[in-house]
Homo-oligomer: A and B are copies of this chain.
Amino acid sequence: MVNDTALETLYKTVDQNQDDYVERLREAVAIPRYEARDIGCHDMDGVNLQLPPIILGTYGNDPNKKTILVYGHYDVQPALLEDGWDSKPFDMIETPKGQLVGRGASDDKGPIIGWLNCIEAHQNADIEFPVNLKICFEGMEENGSEGLEELISKEADKYFKDVDAVCISDNYWLGMTKPCLTYGLRGICAYKVTISGPGKDLHSGVFGGTVHEPMTDLFHLFSKLVTPSGEILVTGVNDDVAPLTDAENQIYKSLEFSLSELHSAIESKTNIFDNEIETLQHRWRYPSLTLHGIEGAFSSPGFKTVLPAKVTGKFSIRLVPNMDPNRINELVEKYLKDEFAKLGSKNTISVECLHGAKPWIANPNHWNYVAASKAVERIFKCKPDLTREGGSIPVTLTFQDALNKNVLLLPMGRGDDGAHSINEKLDRSNYIQGIKLFGAYLHEVASCKDE
């Protein structure tokens, strides 16, 4: 049973100290880049740089308590005033509306400082910390988390051995007012398809009409991948998509989301589906295929009468359960080669599978989610939305695969925080209520029965 009185005391302490917490976040935002030396090296532009450290910490080791691992990252996207910020990106300001504006405020310094504030609030309020906490804060998230996966697998049976569940606060509410728990992410398979003809670029006047043109082949081939309404045409690719269950469909009915939010995000009304549910389902739980571009063709403004000799088209497929990247690679490669053969071109094709990441899905009925859901009800007086996301957060899958424990995505910020944009912000209320949420979640975890 959660000790409600203790929690009320905790909330009060958080409220009393909120200005200190904001100051602490301001200090964190003011560090544009961590300069220490630690976990290995990295070649950038030919220079061998030391990787920033991964900070591991343990708070409590009572064998009678559950152990929760929290992950966050202290590195941020680059930001310059000249990019169009209304204030200096590394001097956090608070607007009259209570928005804390600064690079990293929401992604991901607010959450990591939030966890530390949560610990301090327990100390100040003299309340026993309800779980053993392990922290893992890295500094390379915005650059592919280099070095993290290696460390996690190396430490899985050591530092991470007693972890019962994982909580990651590095995504956002779906909208502006309703908290959510996120239990799924799409995976990705990325491809490069190169069609080679002449040994060098040719003049279209001299050779147009007499040679098989790689660009023509590529346009024919890629037009066979996906329809203008987003249906993937690659044979077999849709076969492994998990069928939509009634229970799952039910989740979509209560989500805080409207097409007008989509319209303002995409700055147009070119959505395929005319309703919210299908839109979110195609964002989260169905695959999609996007053509990104061509390398080797003419791409500058203006005009050039070139007949490109060798062109590389790039596309990717977003994966959902139960699609397997290796199986998808086989299907895509076979389909492309079969369709290319039908073109009757003398050019040659090569297909390269770049990276593949599996889709991720967690069980939203696991005690880790139940605890978070109850905590949301305590702080926000409503049930959280159960969301998934269309993109991938690779570390999620890394933790799940290496530790084989339930992973929860518990966002602190709102859908309009603008994580990688100018004027990134975190609302003061999200920050302060978020600290309380983290506390309530840990207390709920402590009182949950294991499944």
Contact = CB atoms under 8 A, between A and B. Distances in A.
A230 interface: yes
A1 interface: no
A394 to B, nearest CB: 11
A390 B208 CA distance: 8
A5 to B, nearest CB: 42
A316 B204 contact: yes
A283 B202 CA distance: 13
Interface string A188-231: 10101000011110111111111111011101101100111110
Interface string A264-295: 01111111110000010011001111111111
Interface residues of A, number: 80
Contacts of A209: 230, 272, 282-283, 286-288, 318, 390
Given A198-B266, A262-B210, A390-B209, A304 B292 contact: yes
Interface stretch (A19-27, A101-109, A339-347, A379-387): A339-347
A223 B291 CA distance: 14
B301 A212 contact: no
Contacts of A269: 346
A279 B343 contact: no
A64 to B, nearest CB: 41
A307 B289 CA distance: 10
Interface string A158-196: 000000000000000000000000000010101010000
A147 interface: no
A143 interface: no
A226 B222 contact: no
Interface in A345-392: 345-347, 354-355, 389-392
A14 B298 CA distance: 47
Given A228-B343, A228-B344, 13 more contacts: A188-B205, A202-B266, A205-B389, A206-B283, A208-B283, A211-B268, A212-B230, A213-B290, A219-B223, A219-B291, A220-B228, A293-B294, A295-B299
Interface of A: 186, 188, 190, 192, 197-200, 202-213, 215-217, 219-220, 222-223, 226-230, 262, 265-273, 279, 282-283, 286-295, 297-301, 303-308, 314, 316, 318, 343-347, 354-355, 389-392
